[in-house]
């Protein structure tokens, strides 16, 4: 057989299969130093999505620390994060099944520290002087009202829980100063999300462990504070977007606040989860930090005294979970050609070492599509952004004159961002002959506060327009078939998908992953963290109920006239299953091709290997039937009504 063969787009045979992806790919996060040891979390689809803590010692030995059936994952805010802490070899972690904090010493089984209750814990720090943890607590005891969020202490001997800070709707980032005399933290209240408005507080710690009077030192109206962190010499640093960009600041001992590096770049990320880390201290005045511009992340060294920012060259354009210990830097790094990995960089020796990859699969570059950053015109004379991936498979070319089908991805959040890091899920599509467009629509992170606020009162409008205009831009460039364009997204991206399919006629098919179809149902039946999110994105409810109905696809099903497939976790508390099921029922009655794939035991996002595989293959199968091409591989069929 000679290559390349000529075959229609979509029918190309690819070595990047769903079996390969789920068998060989894990999630990575939560990097931490403990002395010379490095720890990280692995999310393992083949273990039903269990999060396992892993340790790597200086001699290169890598060991699983978390025994079965423990799962290092907290459900505070439902999204979690900040699920473990390591101090001198002792580990404290939240266990997913019961949400208790467990203590695990080296070589022993985890032992429960907190009592059985309906409390959840996250973002813990150690207060060794007082033999306790300080952390966020979310109390679900009162079933007839929303959970109560507080900052608490947990006695390391008795497990006694004591409330230290209360009164605000939400808290995060309790951080103890070097000598243990002061505590800093962030709070915010309904209807704000932490990236809208939040406050940074500081209080002295009394002799009995309680807190003295708290002082708000930063934040407030139209200002978001992120990542408070104490330097080795006892000064408090943080990120603020008071200039329109999340930049780094220092709170001085005389009460003044000093900007360290003012630039049009983001040194922080929206705190959807706890435990985010974008900077750390190599010394009292030297900060190692990450920042993003135009969709890419960079590593740099910042002198807090001279305010000089010095880039640190790496091959990575996506950097997260940054930890610093002297000249050693550990982080999660990814690039368009390299799998996401736990990386350690020794600045003293200039040496980089990869400790763990998200996948050990070696993919021939001939099957990898390299993303191109594009800027395109959109409504109101504005510009929006996306990552464009052309079809790529060294074994095939398309028939002369044929244009590829296009899959547009609307990311979640909606205050999130598309990444250009190598994703085998993206390459699954491009290596089969799809063009792929990952859109950073107005509202996305990484382009400043003003860009993020384009979505205020305009969710379901700006994001939809940007996804539509991104697709049309590619068609005008001759890079996509305008008659074979689909849109896909999860959660908030699922809403954008459904809204685009309902209110526009650009796309010919779509896939909603746990997406929102009824904004009113969502505002009535979602978790506390996001229960007032729509006040800013849509309008106050119930005062502006009419807007909710106007923008809800479920109320305008007569305008939807193309096939849709729905994927849904049946234990999802963020977007409950009824959101998908209402749409499916109406589409069936209307006679439109529709498929529904529910997953037992899954929450908001799929973690089990068999379900990840089923969803990926199922979406591809669905488009093959709609767009009329034959997949090269045998795929388990999906039941499609009305096809």
The whole-number pLDDT of residue 339 equals 87
Residue 566 has pLDDT above 80, yes or no: yes
Mean pLDDT within 184-199:
97
The whole-number pLDDT of residue 175 equals 98
**Residue owning tokens 């929102």:** 516
The whole-number pLDDT of residue 413 equals 87
Q: Which fold has domain 363-627?
A: Rossmann fold (3.40.50)
Mean pLDDT within 419-425:
92
How distant, in Å, are the alpha carbons of 243, 397, 404, 599, 607 from that of 527? 31, 48, 40, 20, 20
Residue 633 has pLDDT above 70, yes or no: yes
- On the CB side of 133, CA atoms within 13 Å amount to 31
The whole-number pLDDT of residue 21 equals 87
Strands of 115-160, DSSP E: 119-127, 132-139, 148-155
**Residue owning tokens 């009655």:** 589
What is the tens place of the pLDDT at every residue in 51-99?
999 999 999 999 999 999 999 999 999 999 999 999 999 999 999 999 9
The three-state DSSP-derived secondary structure of 28-92 is EEEEEEECCEEEEEEEEHHHCCEEEEEEECCCCCEEECCCCCCCECCCCCCCCECCEEEECCEEE
Closest CA to 219 of 278, 271, 177: 271
3-state helix, strand, coil in the chain (%, to 5): 20, 35, 45
Q: Could you tell me which residues are beta bridge partners of residue 333?
A: 319, 341
Q: What is the mean pLDDT of the chain?
A: 95
Rg (C-alpha) for the chain, rounded Å, is 24
The whole-number pLDDT of residue 2 equals 63
The whole-number pLDDT of residue 521 equals 87
**Residue owning tokens 């001759």:** 478
Residue 609 has pLDDT above 60, yes or no: yes
The whole-number pLDDT of residue 531 equals 93
How distant, in Å, are the alpha carbons of 17, 95, 272, 278 from that of 43? 20, 14, 18, 21
Q: Residue 317 — left, alpha, or beta (φ > 0 → left; ψ -120 to 50 → alpha)?
A: alpha
Burial per residue of 308-333, b for 16 or more beta-carbon CB atoms within 10 angstroms, e otherwise: ebeebebebbbbbbbbbbeebbbbbb
How distant, in Å, are the alpha carbons of 135, 237, 307, 330, 637 from that of 285? 27, 11, 10, 19, 59
Distance, in Å, from the CA atom of 79 to the CA atom of 415, rounded to the nearest integer, reads: 14
Distance, in Å, from the CA atom of 167 to the CA atom of 159, rounded to the nearest integer, reads: 23
Q: How far is CA 204 from the centre of its chain?
A: 34
Mean pLDDT within 465-479:
98
Supply the DSSP symbol for 543: T
Residues whose CB is less than 8 angstroms from the CB of residue 190 and which lie 6 or more positions away in sequence, other chains included: 169, 531, 532, 535
Distance, in Å, from the CA atom of 78 to the CA atom of 138, rounded to the nearest integer, reads: 10
* Residue 170: count of CB within 10 angstroms of its CB: 22
Distance, in Å, from the CA atom of 211 to the CA atom of 203, rounded to the nearest integer, reads: 6
The whole-number pLDDT of residue 46 equals 85
> What tokens were used for 107?
């070589």
Mean pLDDT within 37-43:
97
How distant, in Å, are the alpha carbons of 318, 421, 426, 581 from that of 333? 6, 8, 18, 38
How distant, in Å, are the alpha carbons of 75, 190, 488 from that of 142? 17, 19, 38
Closest CA to 67 of 29, 39, 109, 111: 109
What is the tens place of the pLDDT at every residue in 368-418?
999 999 999 999 999 999 999 999 999 999 999 999 999 999 999 899 999
Strand 225-230 to 509-513 pairing: unpaired
The whole-number pLDDT of residue 23 equals 82
Determine the angle formed by the axes of helices 462-476 and 492-503, rounding to 10 degrees: 70
Global pTM reads 0.93
Burial per residue of 232-244, b for 16 or more beta-carbon CB atoms within 10 angstroms, e otherwise: eeebbbbbbbbee
% of the chain beyond a pLDDT of 90? 90
Least confident of 242-251, 468-477, 634-643: 634-643
Strand 406-410 to 435-440 pairing: parallel
The whole-number pLDDT of residue 1 equals 56
- On the CB side of 339, CA atoms within 13 Å amount to 21
Closest CA to 91 of 129, 63, 119: 63
CB 151 within 8 A of CB 164: yes
CB 174 within 8 A of CB 160: no
Distance, in Å, from the CA atom of 104 to the CA atom of 113, rounded to the nearest integer, reads: 10
Residue 578 has pLDDT above 70, yes or no: yes
Report the largest interatomic distance among the alpha carbons of the chain, rounded to a whole angstrom. Answer: 80
Supply the DSSP symbol for 392: -
The three-state DSSP-derived secondary structure of 173-216 is EEEECCCCCEEEEEEECCCCCCCCCCEEEEEEECCCCCECCCEE
Distance, in Å, from the CA atom of 503 to the CA atom of 302, rounded to the nearest integer, reads: 47
What is the tens place of the pLDDT at every residue in 281-303?
999 999 999 999 988 999 999 99
């Amino acid at each position: 057989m000679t290559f390349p063969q000529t075959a229609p787009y979509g029918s190309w045979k690819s070595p990047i299969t769903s079996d390969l992806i789920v068998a060989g790919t894990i999630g990575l996060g939560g990097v931490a130093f403990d002395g010379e040891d490095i720890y990280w979390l692995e999310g393992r689809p083949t273990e039903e999505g269990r999060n396992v803590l892993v340790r790597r010692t200086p001699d290169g030995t890598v060991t699983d620390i978390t025994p079965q059936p423990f799962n290092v994952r907290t459900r505070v805010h439902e999204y979690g994060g900040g699920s473990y802490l390591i101090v001198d070899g002792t580990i404290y972690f939240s266990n997913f099944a019961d949400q208790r904090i467990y203590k695990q010493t080296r070589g022993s089984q985890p032992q429960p520290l907190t009592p059985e209750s309906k409390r959840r814990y996250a973002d813990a720090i150690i207060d060794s002087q007082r033999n306790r943890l300080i952390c966020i607590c979310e109390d679900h005891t009162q079933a007839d009202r929303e959970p109560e969020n507080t900052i608490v202490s947990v006695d390391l001997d008795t497990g006694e829980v004591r409330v230290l800070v209360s009164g605000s709707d939400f808290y995060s980032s309790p951080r103890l100063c070097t000598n243990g005399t002061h505590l800093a933290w962030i709070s915010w209240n309904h209807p704000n999300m932490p990236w809208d408005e939040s406050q940074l507080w500081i209080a002295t710690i009394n002799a009995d462990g309680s807190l003295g009077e708290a002082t708000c030192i930063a934040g407030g109206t139209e200002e978001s504070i992120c990542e408070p962190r104490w330097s080795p010499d006892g000064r408090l640093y943080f990120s603020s977007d008071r200039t329109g960009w999340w930049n780094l600041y220092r709170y001085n001992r005389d009460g003044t606040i000093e900007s360290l590096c003012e630039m049009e770049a983001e040194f922080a990320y929206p705190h959807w989860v706890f435990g985010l880390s974008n900077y750390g201290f190599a010394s009292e005045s030297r900060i190692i930090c990450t920042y993003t511009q135009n969709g890419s992340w960079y590593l740099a060294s910042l002198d807090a005294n001279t305010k000089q920012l010095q880039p640190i060259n790496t091959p990575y354009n996506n950097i997260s979970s940054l930890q610093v210990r002297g000249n050693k830097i550990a982080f999660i790094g990814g690039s368009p050609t390299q799998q996401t990995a736990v990386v350690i960089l020794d600045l003293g020796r200039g040496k980089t070492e990869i400790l763990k990859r998200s996948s050990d699969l070696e993919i021939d570059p001939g099957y990898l599509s390299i993303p191109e950053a594009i800027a395109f015109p959109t409504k109101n004379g504005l510009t929006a952004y996306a990552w464009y991936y052309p079809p790529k498979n060294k074994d095939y070319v398309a028939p002369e004159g044929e244009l590829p089908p296009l899959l547009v991805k609307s990311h979640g959040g909606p205050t999130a961002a598309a990444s250009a890091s190598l994703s085998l899920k993206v390459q699954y599509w491009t290596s089969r002959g799809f063009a792929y467009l990952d859109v950073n629509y107005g509202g996305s992170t990484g382009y400043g506060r003003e860009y993020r606020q384009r979505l205020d009162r305009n969710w379901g409008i700006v994001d939809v327009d940007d996804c539509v205009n991104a697709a049309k831009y590619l068609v005008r460039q001759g890079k996509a078939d305008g008659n074979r364009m689909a849109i896909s997204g999860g959660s908030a991206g699922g809403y954008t998908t459904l809204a685009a399919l309902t209110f526009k006629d650009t796309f010919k098919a779509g896939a909603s992953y746990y997406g929102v179809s009824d904004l009113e149902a969502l505002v009535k039946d979602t978790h506390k963290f996001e229960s007032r999110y729509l006040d800013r994105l849509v309008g106050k409810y119930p005062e502006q109920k009419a807007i909710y109905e106007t923008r809800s696809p479920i109320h305008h099903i007569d305008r939807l006239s193309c096939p849709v497939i729905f994927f849904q976790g049946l234990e999802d508390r963020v977007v409950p299953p009824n959101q998908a099921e209402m749409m499916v029922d109406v589409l069936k009655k209307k006679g439109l091709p529709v498929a529904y794939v529910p997953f037992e035991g899954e929450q908001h996002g799929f973690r089990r290997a068999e379900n990840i595989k089923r969803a990926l293959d199922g979406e591809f199968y669905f488009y093959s039937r709609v767009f009329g091409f034959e997949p090269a591989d045998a795929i388990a069929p999906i039941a499609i009504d009305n096809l």
